[in-house]
Amino acid sequence: MSKLWIQNGTIVNPSGAALQGRHDILIENGRIQAIAPELPAADVEGAEIVDALGCHVMPGFFDLHVHLREPGQEYKEDIASGTLAAVHGGYTAVCCMPNTDPVIDNPALLSFIREKASAADHCKVYPVAAITKGLKGEELSEMGLLLEAGAVAFSDDGKPVADPQRMRLACQYAKNFDALLMLHCEDKALAGSGVMHEGYYSVTLGLAGIPAASEAAMVARDLLIAESYGTRIHICHVSTEQSIALIRAAKARGVRVTCETAPHYFAATDEWVELSGYDSNVKMNPPLRSARDRDAIIEALADGTIDAIATDHAPHHQDEKRVEFNIALNGIVGLETAYSLAVTHLVMPGKLTPEQLVDRMSAAPRRILGLEGAEIAEGAPADLTIAKPDADVVYTAAGLHSKSKNSPFLERPYFGKIQQTIVEGVAKI
């Protein structure tokens, strides 16, 4: 395997890591071999040079929550196109959600995903298997066999485990393996027929609202059940101030809970539905929330209550989005825009330090899954993201590498541009 020599870059490790600042990095055989302000000429002889002048060199971004749509909905995205989008967004690894067709609830499909990811050879893919077979919320999947086959966690994402008795059994079963349950927390009865956040704008726009309590009520239920059995749970796409308060209190009393939010929840609010003229690219689930919720999200990212930033990358064909707001499908693509949104809305205003951002996008996801590579160090995996944080960038539909283009963040100016993504010592863009 060829050698890579990263020159002139500024290493940004998570907060608390010993190594920060200006260093060169030598990569060989998929690992970081040496780090120094200046590497000996003999060590770097014959190495391919990557000039990182003016750039941050960070542990590779890791997305806990991505919909790659394969198998079954390849017209929206497939593993090859989704992972190509990932590396262009700085991601060296992603977790793919199981709400495919067929559902990822058996070892054969886990093998299929791994083979497809290996053939595409863009970034690492860690499959998440279903909590219940077929995502029907009834019969539990065979967690032991699925873990042996390569599942890293379990989720019915897109749907909550609505039956509290089924959720109790899932927690008991998962605890036997110390498996992680990644939970979509939504009380469907409370959400009703809502299509956006319930508040001022839903009233003035004449759209049915989804109350913040529809998320928080299920967060509270799942926290209590998981606490009863000591099960590890991870709350997906947290969007409300109420949910944050519940999670913060649960962490304080020792509940084994982590959580994530998505860039759109700190970069936009429900006002965007009005400002966009009912553009369905601002329709998602959970919906864009109030400015107060957004501010609570940012505060929770800063104080560590929210562990990770995950994109909830949800590609849809234009025919599923260019329809009336009420009937458009939920979700947006997010892999390629996440870093810029984070730099623009979190780092530039001083809400997060670069080191904190690296923790939320790189280190925390690995810690949650128990994987190595949470910081740049000699001997660590050579999975790195190189980005220029002060570079101007504007995203366009034509410039996205995802098959789908459903994003409200196109044609807008941002800061933060991915320059290179290195996976197992190989430069990918």
Q: Which residues have a catalytic role annotated? A: 312
Return the sign of the alpha-carbon dihedral for residues 332, 158, 358, 122.
negative
E-strand stretches of 42-198: 48-51, 56-59, 61-66, 91-96, 124-129, 153-155, 180-183, 196-197
Residue 128 φ then ψ, to 5°: -105, 130
Report which of 283, 335, 325 is spatially closest to residue 83, judged by C-alpha positions.
Answer: 335
Nearest to 158 by CA among 269, 316, 370, 337: 316
The DSSP-derived string for 405-416 is ---TTTT-EEEE
Q: In angstroms, rounded to a whole number, what is the distance separating the alpha carbons of residues 420 and 427?
A: 7
Nearby residues of 109 by Cβ (< 8 Å), 6 or more positions away: 71, 100, 102, 103, 127
Hey, is 3 helix, strand or coil? coil
Contact by Cβ (8 Å): 360, 368: no
Strands 24-28, 31-36: pairing kind: antiparallel
Is there a contact between 317 and 76 (Cβ–Cβ < 8 Å)?
A: yes
